[in-house]
Amino acid sequence: MLLHSLILGYFCSMLVLDGKIAAAAVKASLQAQTAALAANGKRAPHLAAILVGNNGASETYVASKVKNCEETGFISSLIRLEETVSEDILLETIQKLNNDITVDGILVQLPLPKHISDQKVIEAIDPKKDVDGFHPVNVGKLVQGLETFIPATPYGIMLLLEHFNIDTKGKHAVVVGRSNIVGRPMSILLSSNVNKGNCTVTICHSHTPNIESFCKDADILVAALGKPGFITANMVKPGAVIIDVGITRVADETTKSGFRIKGDVAYNEVSEVASAITPVPGGVGLMTIAGLLKNTMQAYMQHA
């Protein structure tokens, strides 16, 4: 009876790392900064986004970014280009934004059509306006521990850990996924000597043998591989903190949209084992936008 009570108490104490709550706190702080700028007769930070084509997921992401800019008091510009636009025209568009002194941050929504090089586009953005944090200059600064723009999703995760005061010092963090957008920068941040860093970090990927054993050993598990429901309860250490970065559209005829969003973690079963977990949707996705807004304010302050 006592054991049953202890187990029940443990499960009841599981913390949902709610991105709505943490993102709202970040936005409230930025709103106050923006209001103070206006009170001093200064313009608001300006984020310019470029959307190529009409990919459904990209449309949703960009619309959310624009909406959040407006809610925070930022200026936002959305430049739409046809799917067939040439690489040269896109690069010229970026250069115009680089030269526009009223634009603080520039982002080009990925993925791009196959005839356009993602890398050329990323490198064309002025590093001082690269609020996505993808430019090699900013990545290099991140590796060296210098002040820079942190890729928005890893930045958002760090803000989430900070908001909910998750203890990371000395913990074993396992990052599943090695993309330049999430996995690699996430491993750098968690291992850095910064607030909510100082972890011992292991990176797992498609060639990692017996990946289950690495996940099972994690105090903090970051799943960023894009495979819905990949992380199951038997792969999680009791009491681990679970950060689910996955956002995949899965067909579902029972929904109005015809799909539902699923994460890389089997939420229902893993939440019974973890001490804290991010929901999908409503978790890391919202924090990615919070990280982007923080980077835009940083870019503005550097230009001011």
Three-class secondary structure assignment of 235-274: HCCCCCEEEECCCEEEECCCCCCCEEEECCECHHHHCCCC
Q: How far apart are the C-alpha atoms of 75 and 33, rounded to whole Å?
A: 14
Q: Supply the DSSP symbol for 219.
A: S
Active-site residue identified among 104, 129, 130, 132? 132
Contact status, residue 246 vs residue 264, Cβ threshold 8 Å: yes
The yes-or-no answer on residue 31 being catalytic is no
Active-site residue identified among 65, 129, 196, 294? 65
Please state at what angle helix 284-303 crosses helix 19-39, rounded to 10 degrees. Answer: 20
Q: How far apart are the C-alpha atoms of 301 and 147, rounded to whole Å?
A: 13
Written as six digits, the tokens of 198 are 């100082």
Inter-CA distances, 263 with 231, 251, 268, Å = 9, 14, 11
Q: Is the peptide bond before 281 cis (omega within 30 degrees of 0)?
A: yes
Largest CA distance in the chain: 71
Active-site residue identified among 27, 104, 109, 130? 109
Written as six digits, the tokens of 61 are 């992401």
Q: Beta partners for 231? A: 265
The yes-or-no answer on residue 65 being catalytic is yes
The yes-or-no answer on residue 126 being catalytic is no
Residues forming the active site: 65, 109, 132
